[in-house]
């Protein structure tokens, strides 16, 4: 399919056949007849599909062979920029790699239908040259006074300026007191200034920045910026963006959690004078539309976004940066399962531009590519301005347990006391939302469980709710046990951050406390406000989930306490140790980032676990080497290939029967192993029963070809779904 888009400007003449890709999970291209006007590759076109009209993209020439009686004609071409060639190649590549239908991938690249509508001419209004004699109300007088003073404005804006409703302005236009005039659309994003004075880089930072600048005009390359937390990776990659700006090209920065990026945006503004274009799920429809168009026009020079920003239609992408490249937030599990870091590298290759990966704890995948010589590595071994890395200590919960009913060991409590007494800030980290992960009846042992999932209901005491973290199902906490009828018999088991906050409020009543989790801060604005309060030292103690780990810089924060360092270690996840090490390093990296040195305490029942030892010794590299060896021995990624198939349906029996059919058709190949079917750990999710296959292949065998054949050979009964995940990260 790639060859079909080789010539971007290729036209398809009137009345011949075009292959159109529709943003629907259908197989392949559909042939349509071209009308009286030619179309070109990448054009957005409206075509009939059954009784509907659908917007699709011209992807190539038609293949023919369709019954002429059934062949439909393209209704019309949309008057907007075509989908660029690089974007089309990217869609094909992602579809091929993830084994998703190309249309399902195209849908991600067409996420803003309104951006394809023609630009409306805007009409402004101003005071008429001669105002006719009309009845003047107070509201009308205010509008005319405002119009006399201000430049021409959109009617809605003029109404707002005058403090009146839109009908007043409309009435004045009709009466001829205001006249209308065409207006240019508002300017798109301001262009960041590469020469705006930024911070003075240290010699080590300068060296890395120079290397990045040098690679800017040399086409595709991948560079890992491997720097400890607080070493200034952001300031350094800003220099690569400056170089792209100077060359007039676009840059894309991928962040794992864009909605929480207020501090990042502030720093960008400090370096470049203006804000970049942001791309995330919280944007208004109008903002999404304007951003999409500005990206397509090439006028949005720097885009900072979540993983979906990869699918925007860049006119001239000259640089991609993946910050915190190890972060599992880059992996999308639903729908088209893809890893944004890996796809960013592919996008860079297709567009012929450099890709920069930044992390303090690079993934094993990236390290392997460095060792193989495919990626370059630049190192920043020290924190900026002489700040030292925090000392990491392990609290052995077997020796220093918290008192009954509490969760903080005396060692950690004392450290918090000392920190607060010194007028500094402390942060307690627990990667679990809510009050308690499990609620059970003291009389009969009944556990409150989600009716739709293999999961317990998590108590959220603030909200007065019991919530399933997998499907969102909620109930009010029951007053009597649904099993034995006992009243007030429920006991909360284990802590979530609400419970830690309760303990902290009890122990340190004077401390100003804040909680931060995805469900306690609603939206980017609230998050930005909270982050500002912590940075300004309006908060003494911060209790949070993994969102507090992400990149923040709090100068007065000197103590980080990890309430349950073992939390991520079990659960059969291939990357459990690696991920725990990364997450805890990142949390630890929040401590002592400015003048005052920081310390970190990890509460654990496994002080001898390799992860705890590596963290305590600050010995990332030998930990990663051991991990690498274990994966290599097991033939697991990144040394072997892995894919997961989750088969699900509303009835367990039917799912099992279908799995048995699948196994009969399964490929049998030297170097390829099929494990399963087995019930997935979440064997029931949203009312669907789930069985899982793992397909493991040697690198030289490859799994795409046999997997594709297998999937094509099975006939999926209605109600049953197969979810394909190449390079799975989640194993639930």
Exposed/middle/buried for residue 311 (C-beta within 10 Å: 0-12, 13-18, 19+):
buried
Query: Is the Cβ–Cβ distance between 536 and 553 less than 8 Å?
Result: no
Q: How far is the CB of 329 from ligand ADP (least distance, A)?
A: 16
Paired tokens of 207: 């060296």
Out of ligand ADP, Zn ion, none, what residue 233 binds, judged by CB under 5 to 8 A for its kind, is ligand ADP
- Three-class SS of residue 358? strand
User: Which of 33, 126, 211, 470 touches Zn ion by CB under 5 A?
Assistant: 470
In the region spanning residues 262 to 291, those forming contacts with ligand ADP, defined by CB under 6 A, are 267
Q: Which is nearer to ligand ADP, 229 or 369 (CB)?
A: 229
Q: Which entry of Zn ion, ligand ADP, none binds 459, CB below 5 to 8 A by partner kind?
A: none
Q: State in angstroms the smallest separation of the CB of 652 from Zn ion.
A: 16
Q: What are the counts of helices (DSSP H) followed by strands (DSSP E) for the chain?
A: 19, 33
Answer yes or no whether residue 362 interacts with ligand ADP by CB under 6 A: no
Considering beta carbons, is residue 230 or 402 the nearer one to ligand ADP?
230
The answer to whether 465 contacts Zn ion (rule: CB under 5 A) is: no
For residue 648, the SS3 value is strand
Find the shortest distance in angstroms from Cβ 367 to ligand ADP. 18
Query: By CB under 5 A, is residue 501 in contact with Zn ion?
Result: no
**Which member of 83, 109, 159, 201 binds ligand ADP (CB under 6 A)?**
201
With CB under 5 to 8 Å by kind, the binding choice for 230 among ligand ADP, Zn ion, none is ligand ADP
Place of tokens 């609603």: 522
C-beta of 234 vs 439, nearer to ligand ADP: 234
Of 196, 269, 461, 473, the one binding Zn ion (CB under 5 A) is: 473
142-161 in b/e burial notation, b at 16+ Cβ within 10 A? bbbebbeeeebbebeebbeb
DSSP letter at 102 equals H
Element (H, E) at 697: strand 688-698
Please report the DSSP string for 289-343 in residue order.
HHHHHHHHHT---EEEE-GGGGGS--SSEEEEEEETTT-GGGEE-SSS-EEHHHH
- Of 162, 158, 168, the residue nearest 122 (C-alpha): 158
Residues 6+ apart with CB under 8 A from 97: 338, 343, 346, 704, 726
Contact partner, 468, from Zn ion, ligand ADP, none, Cβ < 5-8 Å per class: Zn ion
For residues 204 to 223, the per-residue mask of contacts with ligand ADP, x marking binding by CB under 6 A and - elsewhere, is -x------------------
Residue 692 engages ligand ADP in binding (rule: CB under 6 A):
no
- The set of long-range contacts for 109-112, using a CB threshold of 8 Å and a minimum separation of 24, is 109/23, 109/83, 109/311, 109/312, 109/313, 110/23, 110/55, 110/57, 111/288, 111/292, 111/308, 111/311, 112/288, 112/289, 112/292
Pick the stretch among 13-21, 37-45, 193-201, 414-422 that binds ligand ADP (CB under 6 A): 193-201
Q: How far is the CB of 286 from ligand ADP (least distance, A)?
A: 32
Strands 541-544 and 391-396: unpaired
Pick from 87, 98, 215, 231: which binds ligand ADP (CB under 6 A)?
231
Enumerate residues 6+ apart whose C-beta is below 8 A from 210: none
- The answer to whether the CB of 199 falls within 8 A of the CB of 235 is yes
> If contact means CB under 5 to 8 A according to the sort of partner, which of Zn ion, ligand ADP, none does residue 296 touch?
none
Please list, residue by residue across 524-546, b when 16 or more beta carbons sit within 10 angstroms of its beta carbon and e when fewer do: beebbebbeebbeeebbbbbbbb
User: Can you tell me which of 384, 432, 590, 631 binds ligand ADP, judged by CB under 6 A?
Assistant: 384
Q: Which of residues 436-455 bind Zn ion (CB under 5 A)?
A: 450, 452-453
- For ligand ADP, which is the closer residue by CB, 182 or 386? 386
**Is 229 near ligand ADP (CB under 6 A)?**
yes
Task: Give whichever of 507 and 686 is closer to Zn ion, judged by the CB atom.
Answer: 686
530-589: which residues touch ligand ADP (CB under 6 A)?
A: 553
Residue 646 CB-density burial (10 A; 0-12 exposed, 13-18 middle, 19+ buried): buried
Q: Distance of CA 216 to CAs 28, 221, 291, 319, Å? A: 36, 9, 25, 8
For Zn ion, the binding residue among 124, 468, 643, 697 (CB under 5 A) is 468
- Give the residue, chosen from 152, 227, 561, 637, that forms a contact with ligand ADP under the rule CB under 6 A: 227
List the single partner that 160 binds among Zn ion, ligand ADP, none, CB under 5 to 8 Å by kind: none
The reply to whether 361 sits near ligand ADP by the rule CB under 6 A is no
Tell which one of 87, 221, 234, 361 touches ligand ADP (CB under 6 A). Answer: 234
Size of the site for ligand ADP (CB under 6 A): 16
For 586, the token pair is 């990142």
Q: Which of these segments, 69-77, 103-111, 196-204, 415-423, binds ligand ADP (CB under 6 A)?
A: 196-204
* Beta pairing partners, 49: 52
What's the CA gap between 707 and 190, in Å, rounded? 47
Q: Is 466 in the site for Zn ion (CB under 5 A)?
A: no
Minimum CB separation from ligand ADP for residue 358, in Å?
A: 7
**Residue ranges in contact with Zn ion by CB under 5 A:** 450, 452-453, 468, 470-471, 473
**Residue ranges in contact with ligand ADP by CB under 6 A:** 199-202, 205, 227, 229-235, 267, 384, 553
């Amino acid at each position: 399919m790639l060859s079909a888009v080789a010539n971007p400007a290729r036209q398809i003449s009137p009345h011949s056949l075009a292959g159109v890709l529709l943003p629907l999970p259908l197989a392949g291209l559909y042939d349509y007849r071209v009308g009286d006007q030619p179309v070109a590759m990448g054009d957005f076109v409206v075509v009939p599909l059954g009784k509907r009209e659908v917007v699709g993209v011209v992807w190539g020439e038609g293949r023919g062979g369709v019954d002429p009686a059934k062949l439909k004609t393209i209704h019309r071409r949309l008057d907007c920029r075509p989908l660029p060639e690089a974007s089309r190649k990217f869609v094909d590549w992602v579809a091929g790699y993830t084994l998703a239908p190309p249309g399902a991938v195209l849908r991600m690249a067409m996420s803003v239908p309104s951006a394809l509508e023609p630009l409306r001419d805007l009409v402004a209004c101003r005071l008429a040259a001669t105002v006719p004699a009309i009845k003047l109300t107070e509201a009308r007088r205010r509008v005319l006074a405002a119009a006399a003073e201000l430049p021409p404005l959109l009617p809605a804006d003029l109404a707002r300026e005058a403090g009146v409703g839109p009908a007043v302005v409309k009435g004045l236009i009709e009466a001829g007191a205001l006249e209308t005039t065409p207006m240019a659309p508002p300017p798109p994003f301001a262009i960041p200034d590469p020469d705006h004075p930024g911070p003075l880089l240290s010699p080590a930072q300068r060296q890395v920045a120079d290397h990045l600048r040098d690679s800017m005009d040399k086409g595709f390359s991948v560079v890992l910026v491997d720097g400890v937390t607080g070493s200034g990776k952001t300031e350094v990659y800003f220099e690569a963006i400056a170089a792209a700006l100077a060359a007039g090209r676009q840059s894309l920065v991928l962040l794992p959690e864009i909605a929480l990026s207020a501090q990042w945006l502030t720093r960008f503004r400090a370096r470049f004078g203006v804000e970049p274009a942001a791309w995330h799920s919280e944007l208004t429809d109008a903002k999404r539309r304007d951003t999409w168009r500005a990206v397509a026009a090439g006028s949005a020079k720097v885009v900072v976004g979540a993983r979906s920003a990869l699918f925007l239609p860049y006119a001239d992408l000259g640089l991609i940066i993946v910050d915190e490249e190890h972060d599992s937030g880059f992996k999308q599990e639903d729908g088209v399962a893809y890893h944004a870091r890996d796809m960013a590298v592919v996008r860079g290759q297709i567009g012929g531009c450099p890709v920069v990966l930044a992390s303090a704890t690079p993934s094993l995948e990236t390290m392997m590519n460095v060792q193989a010589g495919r990626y370059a590595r630049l190192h920043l071994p020290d924190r900026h301005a002489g700040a030292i890395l925090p000392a990491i200590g392990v609290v052995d919960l077997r020796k220093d347990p918290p008192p009954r009913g509490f969760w903080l060991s005396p060692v950690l409590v004392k450290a918090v006391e000392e920190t607060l007494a010194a007028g500094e800030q402390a942060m307690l980290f627990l990667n679990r939302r809510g009050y308690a992960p499990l609620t059970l009846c003291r009389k009969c042992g009944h556990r409150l469980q989600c009716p739709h999932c293999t999961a317990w209901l998590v108590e959220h005491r603030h909200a007065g709710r019991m919530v399933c973290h997998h499907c969102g199902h909620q109930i009010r906490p029951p007053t009597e046990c649904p099993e034995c009828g006992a009243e007030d018999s429920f006991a909360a088991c284990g802590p979530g951050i609400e419970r830690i906050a309760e303990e902290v409020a009890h122990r340190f009543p004077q401390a100003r406390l804040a909680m931060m989790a995805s469900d306690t801060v609603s939206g980017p604005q609230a998050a930005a406000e909270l982050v500002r309060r912590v940075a300004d030292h309006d908060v003494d103690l911060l209790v949070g989930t993994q969102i507090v780990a992400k990149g923040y810089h709090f100068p007065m924060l000197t103590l980080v306490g990890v309430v349950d360092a073992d939390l991520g270690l079990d659960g059969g996840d291939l990357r459990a140790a690696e991920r725990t090490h990364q997450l805890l390093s990142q949390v630890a990296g929040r401590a002592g980032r400015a003048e005052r040195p920081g310390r970190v305490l990890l509460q654990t029942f496994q002080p001898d676990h390799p992860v705890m030892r590596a963290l305590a010794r600050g010995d990332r590299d030998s930990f990663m080497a051991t991990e690498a060896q274990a994966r290599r021995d097991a033939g697991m990624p990144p040394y072997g290939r892995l894919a997961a198939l989750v088969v699900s349906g509303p009835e367990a029996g039917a799912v099992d029967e279908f799995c048995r059919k699948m196994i009969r058709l399964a490929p049998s190949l030297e170097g390829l192993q099929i494990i399963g079917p087995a019930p997935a750990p979440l064997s029931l999710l949203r009312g669907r029963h789930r069985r899982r296959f793992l397909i493991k292949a040697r690198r030289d065998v490859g799994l795409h070809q046999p997997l594709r054949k297998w999937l094509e050979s099975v006939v999926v009964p209605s109600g049953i779904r197969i979810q394909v995940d190449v390079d799975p990260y989640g194993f639930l």
